[in-house]
């Protein structure tokens, strides 16, 4: 390392010298990538950098245990790696996410930052802490970056998404119980159908989210299988035979989640199927959220000229020109997030099919989109609960009046008076605006007591 001036210094790698900011912890390889990839200004998400720090710390611990790295250097590397994992060195992770498809640039960014910080900890007299020989010992970008993808996605699902979806499920289930006595008209093809209970609709929404949680949990088990130990192409060249076992055991300790070595390292590095599967589960959750949010804004439409069976919380003025207008803004936010997650899934799918021979070269964009989907779904699920679902109320009078005026009330009479006779009553009800009940009483199609029993709305919502 040679000084150029007070603002920069000279760093060297295998390709030669590079001028680096004087206060930067990164080195020449990172600086080359800074110049090579000025694409979006978007960096890897925090959970990904956290995962890299955890992996590098676990690797150093394993290498020290195996005698591959001197204990003093390994301790300093672990300390520096922990700072990376905790977010203390985020300002030194400067690379654009749209970079080399293996993520080699960001792996070297981590190696150089951790090496420089470890050097500060251990001191110059201990000898150089080398980014490749020490921090990257027993590893390759080709197994580290896929491992970081799995760890980052699994940790963020565990910490962010699963709690948010659980809250959402519990809120919907709670509303289902609260609305169980609200009888409303069902709708198929957006047209009037036979009565349902509002609680039944909300129970259906709760079940969608419950199934989504199960799908995501299944996907996270796939993410528990790690590529670490495969090194360059899956053969494990240049690492101790016990390294994967020890490093992954240490990683499990650091994260609090169980991880395991890939059963086949060629699959783990050549394909990204677990990430594609996880993204598919996230897309399904997004589709469920879209359906639920869309239903709620339809049922809450109005307030005078729409369906109006639900009253959504009024959060903000809905128009710059129409005084008093209030819009279903949270539902709109939810559906926009769903659209973004569906788009992210398409990008992840393209990334998944971009495995070439022994390596997938789309890992950064897979990581970017997968982690964004997790973050967005978690955030908007919590928002949905706090700003919309908790405050939703049923308009019981409106719901009851719509049931009574519905032509579909005649459906329950069809088995008794025949389909054609029931259809004629429905047509006359539509022509005259009179209710099915009124016409049946006038025509004396059934005894009043029998008619009352059959047309009782709640009975039509329960199986015989």
164 shares a domain with 125? no
3-class state of residue 420 by DSSP? helix
**Residue 399 domain flag:** no
Tokens of 121: 């900890």
On the CB side of 297, how many CA atoms lie within 13 Å of its CA? Answer: 16
Two tokens at 358? 């022994």
- Name every residue whose Cβ is closer than 8 Å to that of residue 73 and which is 6 or more positions away in sequence: 118, 122, 126, 127, 129, 134
Here the tokens at position 344 are 């992210």
Sign of CA dihedral 415, 418, 420, 426: negative
- The answer on 279 and 333 residing in a single domain is yes
List alpha helices for 123-241, DSSP H. 141-156, 162-178, 198-223
Q: Which residues have a Cβ under 8 Å from the Cβ of 440 and sit 6 or more positions away?
A: 413, 425, 446, 451, 455
Domain of 448, CATH number, reads 1.10.40.30
Structural tokens at position 459? 């009975």
**Same domain flag for 179 and 159:** yes
Task: Find where tokens 């978007």 sit.
Answer: 42
Would 400 be classed as within a structural domain?
no
- Does 401 reside within a domain? no
User: Both 375 and 277 in a single domain?
Assistant: yes
First-residue to last-residue Cα distance in the chain: 83
Domain extent, residue 32, equals 2-137
Q: Strand pairing of 355-356 and 393-394? A: unpaired
Question: What is the three-class DSSP state of 179?
Answer: coil
Three-state SS string across 31-100, please? HHHHHHCCCCCCCCCHHHHHHHHHHHHHHHHHHHHCCCCCHHHHHHHHHHHHHHHHCCCHHHCCCCCCCC
The CA distance from 335 to 289, in Å, is 7
52, 173: one domain: no
**Smallest Cα–Cα separation from 129: which of 80, 86, 61, 84?**
80
Count of positions (residues) in the chain: 464
Q: 3-class DSSP state for residue 268?
A: helix
Q: How far apart are CA 252 and CA 246, in angstroms?
A: 10
Residue whose tokens read 């099915």: 436
Q: Which helix (H) or strand (E) holds 224?
A: none
Provide the domain count of the chain. 3
Same domain, 255 and 378: yes
- Residue 154: give its domain's CATH number: 1.20.200.10
Q: Are residues 155 and 289 in the same domain?
A: yes
Angle between helices 329-352 and 273-299 (to 10 degrees): 160
**Residue 362 host element (H or E):** none
Q: Measured between alpha carbons, how far is 328 from 343 in angstroms, rounded to an integer?
A: 23
> Do residues 357 and 258 share a domain?
yes
Q: Which residues are designated catalytic?
A: 189, 319
> 75, 106, 137 — which closes off a domain?
137
Q: How far is CA 112 from CA 68, 129, 318, 418, in A?
A: 19, 9, 51, 81
Q: Check if the beta carbon of residue 22 is closer than 8 Å to that of residue 32.
A: no
**The domain spanning residue 98 has which CATH number?**
1.10.275.10
Alpha carbon 216 to chain centroid, angstroms: 9
Domain annotation covers residue 414:
yes
State which of 79, 104, 137 marks the end of a domain: 137
Same domain, 372 and 433: no
Q: How far apart are CA 97 and CA 43, in angstroms?
A: 5
CB 159 within 8 A of CB 152: no
84 and 63 assigned to the same domain: yes
- What is the reported pLDDT for 5? 55
Instruction: Clarify whether residues 364 and 422 are in a common domain.
Output: no
212, part of any domain? yes
Instruction: Describe the crossing of helices 71-86 and 104-122 by its angle, rounded to 10 degrees.
Output: 120
Q: Give domain status of residue 119, yes or no.
A: yes
Q: Do the domain assignments include residue 26?
A: yes
Q: Which residues of the chain fall below pLDDT 50?
A: 1-2
Q: Which of 359, 394, 429 is the last residue of a domain?
A: 394
CB atoms within 10 A of CB 322: 9
Instruction: State whether 152 and 106 are in the same domain.
Output: no
For residue 19, CA distances in Å to 113, 413, 419 come to 16, 85, 86
């Amino acid at each position: 390392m040679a000084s150029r001036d007070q603002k920069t210094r000279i760093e060297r790698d295998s390709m030669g010298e590079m001028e680096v900011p004087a206060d930067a912890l990164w080195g020449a390889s990172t600086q080359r990538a800074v110049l090579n990839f000025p694409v979006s200004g978007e960096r890897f998400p925090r959970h990904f950098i956290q995962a890299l720090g955890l992996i590098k710390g676990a690797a150093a611990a394993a290498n020290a245990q195996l005698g591959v790295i001197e204990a003093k250097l390994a301790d300093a590397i672990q300390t520096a790696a922990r700072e990376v994992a905790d977010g203390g060195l985020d300002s030194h992770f400067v690379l654009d996410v749209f970079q080399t498809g293996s993520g080699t640039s960001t792996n070297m960014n981590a190696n150089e930052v951790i090496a420089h910080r470890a050097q500060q900890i251990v001191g110059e007299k201990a000898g150089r802490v080398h980014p490749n020989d020490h921090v990257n010992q027993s590893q390759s970008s080709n197994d580290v970056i896929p491992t970081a993808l799995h760890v980052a996605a699994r940790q963020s699902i565990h910490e962010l998404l699963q709690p948010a979806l659980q809250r959402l499920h519990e809120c919907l289930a709670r509303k289902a119980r609260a609305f169980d006595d609200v009888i409303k008209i069902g709708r198929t093809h957006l047209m009037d159908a036979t009565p349902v209970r509002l609680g039944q609709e909300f129970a259906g929404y709760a079940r969608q989210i419950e199934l989504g949680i199960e799908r995501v949990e299944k996907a996270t088990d796939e993410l528990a299988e790690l590529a670490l130990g495969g090194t360059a192409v899956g053969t494990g060249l240049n690492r101790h035979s016990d390294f994967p076992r020890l490093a992954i055991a240490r990683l499990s300790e650091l994260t609090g989640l169980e991880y395991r070595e890939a059963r086949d390292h060629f699959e783990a590095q050549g394909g990204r199927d677990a990430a594609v599967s996880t993204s598919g589960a996230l897309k399904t959750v997004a589709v469920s959220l879209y359906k639920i949010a869309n239903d709620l804004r339809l049922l809450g439409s109005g307030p005078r000229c729409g369906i109006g069976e639900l009253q959504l919380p009024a959060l903000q003025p809905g128009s710059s020109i129409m005084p008093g207008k209030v819009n279903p803004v949270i539902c709109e936010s939810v559906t926009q997030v769903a659209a973004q997650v569906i788009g992210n899934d398409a990008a992840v799918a393209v990334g998944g099919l971009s495995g070439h021979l022994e390596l997938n070269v789309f890992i950064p964009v897979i990581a970017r989109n997968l982690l964004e989907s997790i973050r967005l779904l978690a955030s908007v699920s919590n928002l949905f609960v706090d700003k919309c679902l908790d405050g939703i109320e049923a308009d019981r009078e409106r719901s009851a009046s719509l049931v009574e005026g519905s032509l579909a009330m005649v459906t329950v009479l069809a088995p008794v008076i025949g389909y054609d006779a029931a259809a004629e009553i429905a047509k006359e009800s539509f022509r005259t605006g009179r209710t099915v009940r009124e016409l049946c009483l006038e025509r004396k199609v059934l005894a009043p007591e029998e008619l009352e029993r059959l047309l009782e709305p709640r009975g039509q919502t329960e199986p015989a």
